[in-house]
C-alpha cells in the first residue's frame, strides 16, 4: 500500500510497509541523503527532521504516524527564517568538523530558535543534548546558537 507523505512542501507517494521509519524513506527511497543515520534508536539525533516544526527523530518515526503532518528536512530548512539564521551562524563559527551529525544539529537548533528566540544556556542544553557530536563541536554549537539568537532578536 502506498503511503502519502508531505515533505518540504511536496507530497510523495511511497510504497513501503506502514511501519517503515521515515529515515529510510527519505534516504533510500526518495534519495534525500542530507538526513543521516546514526543509531536507529533515537539516542544520537543524527536523523533529526522537523514535523510541523518540532524536532523529531526520523529513525523511530514510522511513515503511518505522519498523516497530514508537514515534514521539513535539512534540504529545505534554509528557507525558514530560523533555519537560515542557524545555517549562517554555523558558517560564521565554522561549527562542522566531519559534519556528519550537523544536519541533525541544525534541525534541532532551528526548532529551538523558532520556538524560543532567546534561549538560555539551560534551554540550549535541553534542546541539544539529544544530538551527539563525536567530533566534539559543542563549544561552537553553543556559540553559533547564541549568535543566531542575537540576529533573531534584532528582528532579522
Partner 1 sequence: MTIDHALTERGSRQSLLPANLSRRSFLKASAAIGGGLVLSLHLPSSRNTARASEAAGFEPNAIIRIDGNGEVFLTMPYVEMGQGTYTAIPMLIAEELEVSLDKVHLEHAPPNEQFYANPLLGVQATGNSNAMRGAWKPMREAGATARMMLVAAAAKEWSVDPGTCRAQGGEVIHDETGKRLTYGALVGAAANMPVQKDVALKSADSFTLIGKPIKRLDTPTKVNGTAIYGIDVRPPGVKIATLAQSPVFGGRVKSLDDAAALAVKGVRQVVRLDDAVAVVADHMGAAKKGMEALQIEWDDGQHASLATEDIARELDKATMSPGAVAQNIGDVDKAMGSAVTRVEASYQLPFLAHAPMEPMNCTVHFRKDECEIWIGNQAIARVQAMAAQAAGLPQEKVIVHNHLIGGGFGRRLEADGAVRAVEIAKQVDSPVKVVWTREEDIQHDLYRPYWFDRLSAGLDDKGRPIAWKNRFAGSSVIARWLPPGFKDGLDPDSTEGAIDLVYDLPNFHVEYVRAEPPAIPTGFWRSVGPSHNVFVTESFVDELAAAAKQDPVAYRRALLDKSPRAKAVLDLAAEKAGWGSTLPEGSGRGVSLQFVFGSYMAQVAEVEVAKDGTVQLRRVVCAMDCGTPVNPNTIEAQIQSGIIFGATAALYGEITLKNGRVEQTNFDSYQMLRINEAPAIEVHIMASTEPPGGMGETGTSAIVPAIANAIYAATGTRLRKMPANPGLLKRA
Query: Do residues 59 and 39 lie in contact, with contact meaning Cβ atoms separated by under 8 Å?
Result: yes
- Contact segment (CB under 8 A) with partner 1 among 5-13, 112-120, 123-131, 146-154 equals 123-131
Taking residues 124 to 143 in sequence order and writing x for each that binds partner 1 by CB under 8 A, - otherwise, the string is xxx-xxxxxxxxxxxxxxx-
- 66 CA to centre of own chain: 16
- 20: contact with partner 1 by CB under 8 A: yes
In the complex, what is the shortest distance from the CB of residue 153 to partner 1, in angstroms, rounded to a whole number?
21
- 110: contact with partner 1 by CB under 8 A: no
Restricted to residues 22-61, the positions that interact with partner 1 (CB under 8 A) are 23-25, 27-29, 31-41, 43-44, 46
In the complex, what is the shortest distance from the CB of residue 69 to partner 1, in angstroms, rounded to a whole number?
19
Would you say 34 or 53 has its CB closer to partner 1?
34
The DSSP annotation for the chain comes to -EEEEEETTEEEEEES-TT-BHHHIIIIIS--TTS--S-SSSSS-TTEEEETTEEEETTS-BGGG-TTPEEE-TTTGGGSHHHHHHHHHHHHTT--SS-TTHHHHHHHHHHHHHH-SS--HHHHHHHHTT---TT--HHHHHHHHHHHHHHHHTT-
- 150: contact with partner 1 by CB under 8 A: no
Kindly list the residues in this chain that would bind partner 1 in the complex (CB under 8 A).
16-17, 19-21, 23-25, 27-29, 31-41, 43-44, 46, 73-75, 78, 87, 90-91, 94-103, 106, 124-126, 128-142
Amino acid at each position: 500500500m502506498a503511503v502519502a507523505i508531505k515533505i518540504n512542501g511536496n507530497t510523495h507517494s511511497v510504497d513501503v510497509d506502514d511501519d517503515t521509519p521515515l529515515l529510510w524513506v527519505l534516504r533510500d527511497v526518495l534519495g534525500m541523503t542530507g538526513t543521516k543515520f546514526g543509531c536507529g534508536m533515537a539516542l544520537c539525533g543524527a536523523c533529526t527532521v522537523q514535523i510541523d516544526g518540532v524536532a523529531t527523530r526520523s529513525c523511530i518515526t514510522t511513515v503511518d504516524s505522519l498523516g497530514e503532518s508537514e515534514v521539513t528536512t535539512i534540504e529545505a530548512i534554509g528557507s525558514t527564517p530560523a533555519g537560515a539564521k542557524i545555517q549562517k551562524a554555523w558558517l560564521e563559527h565554522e561549527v562542522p568538523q566531519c559534519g556528519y551529525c550537523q544536519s541533525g544539529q541544525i534541525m534541532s537548533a532551528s526548532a529551538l530558535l523558532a520556538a524560543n528566540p532567546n534561549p538560555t544556556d539551560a534551554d540550549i542544553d535541553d534542546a541539544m543534548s539529544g544530538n551527539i557530536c563525536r567530533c566534539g563541536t559543542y563549544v561552537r554549537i553553543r556559540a553559533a546558537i547564541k549568535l543566531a539568537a542575537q540576529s533573531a532578536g534584532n528582528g532579522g
